[in-house]
Every structure is written in C-alpha cells, then in structure tokens.
Amino acid sequence: MPKRVLVLCTGNSCRSQMAERLFPLLSDGLWEGVSAGSNPSGYVHPKAIEVMAELGVDLSDGKSEHVDQYSDQAFDLVVTVCDNAAESCPVFPGDTPVAHWPFEDPADATGSEDEILHCFRDIRDQIANRIKAFLSSGE
C-alpha cells in the first residue's frame, strides 16, 4: 500500500496540482498524492495542465478541492507549497509530519506566452527536484 501525501496551497490550481501528480510518478508509485487548497480556485490552471503534459502526465482531470474534505483522513506527510497554506494548515490526526516547501506561484507570472510557460516549467521542475531530494533522503 503506497504512502499518502497531501499537498496544500491556497488556490489548488497550479503548484499543489503538479506536486500531487509528481509524487507518484517520481516515487514509482510508492507515494499516492492528493492536493487541496485553503481557498480553492475551482479550476486547474491550463498552463499547469500544459507543462505537465510535456512530462506525459495528464492533469486535465484534476479538481481544485478544499482542504476540509481531507481533515478526517490519515496521511503520511502533509506538504505546504505556499506561505498562506503553511499559515492556515489544519491539524491532522496522529503525528502527521508537515513540511513547508514554498514555491513562487506561476499563476502570477507576467510577460509573453513563452515567458509565462517558462515560469510554469521552472516551478514544475523545482517541485520535481524537491520531491526527488525528499525521496532520496529516505524520509
């Protein structure tokens, strides 16, 4: 049975969505990912979907969900990917470890289409590298 990680951010439209799908991919299925937001946007950002598709990951079925729906579930790890989520992170049952891995919000990127996509790719890759470091640490 895979370990479970809950990835939290504010809107649950970009960073947490990408991390949710990267955890099982990079762990060869040893981790199951879910994500939620403290103030969900109600959608997954199209550019997050686009840059994940570049890795062969289909994020088009992602859902922006509220963290409250997971408050009674057990997780092996909770990861916050923005400062707002870290500040409003609920308490989960047991001794669930909480890690704070802040990343810039690619939804705030400005510039040309290429510059914005570059920002989304950069954040995706930063998240992937952080997950790889976590997995290789044996935690």
How does pLDDT run across 81-131, given as a tens digit for each residue?
987 655 655 555 567 888 999 999 999 999 999 999 999 999 999 999 999
Given the residues 89, 107, 109, 128, select the one marked as catalytic: 89
Predicted pLDDT of residue 103: 94
Type and span of the H or E element at 8:
strand 3-9
- Tokens matching residue 102: 């802040």
> In the CATH hierarchy, which fold is given to the domain comprising 3-136?
Rossmann fold (3.40.50)
Mean pLDDT, residues 49-61 taken together:
97
Predicted pLDDT of residue 36: 94
Catalytic: 89? yes
Whether 27 contacts 135, CB under 8 Å: yes
Which residue shows structure tokens 């409003």? 88
- Tokens matching residue 10: 């504010």
Catalytic: 119? no
Cβ atoms within 10 Å, residue 25: 16
Type and span of the H or E element at 125:
helix 113-136
CA angle, 6 as apex, 2 and 12 as ends, to 5°?
135
Predicted pLDDT of residue 5: 97
Q: Using CA atoms, how far apart are residues 125 and 123, in angstroms rounded to an integer? A: 5
